[in-house]
Amino acid sequence: MKKIINAPENYVDDMLKGIYSAHSDQVKYAAGDLRCYCRAEKKPGKVAIITGGGSGHLPLFLGYVGDGMIDGCGVGGVFQSPSPEQIYNIAKEVASDAGVLYLYGNYTGDIMTFDMATDLCDMDDIECKSIVGADDVNSHKDPATRRGVAGIYFMFKAAGARADEGGSLDEVLAAAQLAKDNTRTVGFALTPCIIPEVGHANFELKENEMARGMGIHGEPGVWNGPLKTSHEIAEESLNTLLEDMPIADGEEVSILINGLGATSIEELYILSNDVTHLLNSRGIKVYRTIVGEYATSMEMAGASISICKMNDELKKYMDHPVNTPFICQK
């Protein structure tokens, strides 16, 4: 294991201290707990959006806290859920009388955390509603059982924009649901990653081998085989995505080409170009292309492809400005 760290057991807290130090004008922590990550200034009268999840995925989850997106994030250990008390303390810090939307990935530990946090908020008369991201097509045939991965970006964008517009809790929830219903993701890994406190890889891949459908915590994929070209990966991925969510000739999508942590931006743009050409060849128009790291898995090499089918409402949300320590869109 080669990492720029101090003590492995302090990995998360040391990282958080660095973020707070560098971006004190944008973010702070609540209740004296570094892992209760909040925007620096509360917005009165706005629906507060709170997420949470394990560390090791930056900018997911805390990187989406800021103007135009979300208001707070419970920060767990590497690949571990935050506690219900942390989510509750964040809610007390950022909630207004407009209520709170919990928006997080579809993982058992996180579901338990947010359900318990809702019970705590109920005792303080803080109205909360929840929705989970579940966009990973290869993780399960049943959409309700799928994992939440990079496609949750579109849900954060939609919910954050609608909240900024002054939408009610039900309207912000509906915006997130609209993005969820129209988003699908396929991912693939080229190398494993190393959890600092473990000190070794969480799975193995041979030198010329790749894994399709691998989860962002190292969950098993659906296929391991020889490394393929960018064009082959793009074509197979789009076949899977469009089989699950058909898109007609003339319809528009936004695409997210997401790096998993150790894949160069150059490679991501090669993949983006192949995806765009393949979509255009099917008569599908690309409204907006996002390329970069949006949901990583430590230093795992690989990428994911997310598509979000556009309509006029989602286009408006996609165009909404964003400013967080990790993401800026004017």
Catalytic option among 23, 57, 200, 277? 57
With residue 323 as reference, give the H or E element that holds it: strand 322-323
Under 8 Å between Cβ of 325 and 87: no
The CA distance from 205 to 224, in Å, is 8
Q: Is 57 a catalytic residue?
A: yes
Phi, psi of 11 (to 5 degrees): -55, -50
Considering all CA atoms of the chain, what is the largest pairwise distance in Å, rounded to the nearest integer? Answer: 56
Q: Which residue in this structure is represented by tokens 């917005």?
A: 43
Q: Is 231 a catalytic residue?
A: no
Catalytic option among 23, 140, 200, 217? 217
Peptide bond into 154 cis (omega under 30): no
Tokens of 50: 């709170």
Under 8 Å between Cβ of 263 and 292: no
Instruction: Sort residue 283 into left (φ over 0), alpha (ψ -120 to 50) or beta.
Output: left
The CA distance from 169 to 20, in Å, is 29
Phi, psi of 42 (to 5 degrees): -70, 145
With residue 309 as reference, give the H or E element that holds it: strand 302-309
Under 8 Å between Cβ of 155 and 163: no
CA-wise closest residue to 322 among 108, 156, 139, 138: 156
Helices (H), ranges, the chain: 11-22, 84-94, 108-123, 152-164, 169-181, 230-244, 265-281, 312-318
Under 8 Å between Cβ of 286 and 252: yes
Q: Which positions are annotated as active-site residues?
A: 57, 217
